[in-house]
């Protein structure tokens, strides 16, 4: 399902991570699960994260977009926003996700847009709206992430978790 596109980060975010010796655009991806599902992050900033995912390959037995696939897209986008809000000294960890599925989709690409509802010192909450190619709302999700301090050994994993 396609290769990962270059994510568009605000320059001040790139500079913040670069000052710590981290090449954020080179490091960043949708993660192993997101990559497997074809998630593409198109735009990423603390106040708005946009990504897409194909319906094909992410369906349930009736041929509709799987609700769990929508949840993966939503959690990916909300986590990216939370990570960018927290900055380089914080790790964003999802603690609550809820999804309301409004309509079925059988083909094409869905687009998710994550915007902040709350951005605090210890938590961040994002609303994620997922729409089909006609702009019809497919799913509305809300993700809350805990923002905890980076600890030694909290680098980017080199091996898939559990693998």
Q: Which residue has the tokens 């977009």?
A: 65
- Positions marked active-site: 75
111/123 Cα distance (integer angstroms): 25
For residue 105 the two structure tokens come to 């989709």
Taking CA atoms, 112 is separated from 38, 75, 77, 83, in Å, by 13, 10, 7, 17
Number of residues that make up the chain: 163
Task: Tell me, rounded to whole angstroms, the distance of Cα 84 from its chain centroid.
Answer: 11
**DSSP class of 6:** P
């Amino acid at each position: 399902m396609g290769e990962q596109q270059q994510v568009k980060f605000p320059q001040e975010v790139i500079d913040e991570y670069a000052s710590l010796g981290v090449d954020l655009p080179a490091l960043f991806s949708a993660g192993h699960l997101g990559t497997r599902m074809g998630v593409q992050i198109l735009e990423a900033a603390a106040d708005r994260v946009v990504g897409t995912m194909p319906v094909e390959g992410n369906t349930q037995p009736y041929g509709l977009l799987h609700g769990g696939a929508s949840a993966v897209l939503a959690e990916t986008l909300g986590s990216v926003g939370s990570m960018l809000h927290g900055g380089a000294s914080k790790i964003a960890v999802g603690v609550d996700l809820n999804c309301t599925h409004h309509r079925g989709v059988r083909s094409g690409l869905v687009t998710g847009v994550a915007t902040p509802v709350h951005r605090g010192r210890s938590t961040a909450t994002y609303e994620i709206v997922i729409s089909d190619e006609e702009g019809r709302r497919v799913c509305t999700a809300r993700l809350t992430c805990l923002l905890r301090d980076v600890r030694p050994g909290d680098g980017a994993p080199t091996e898939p978790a559990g693998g």
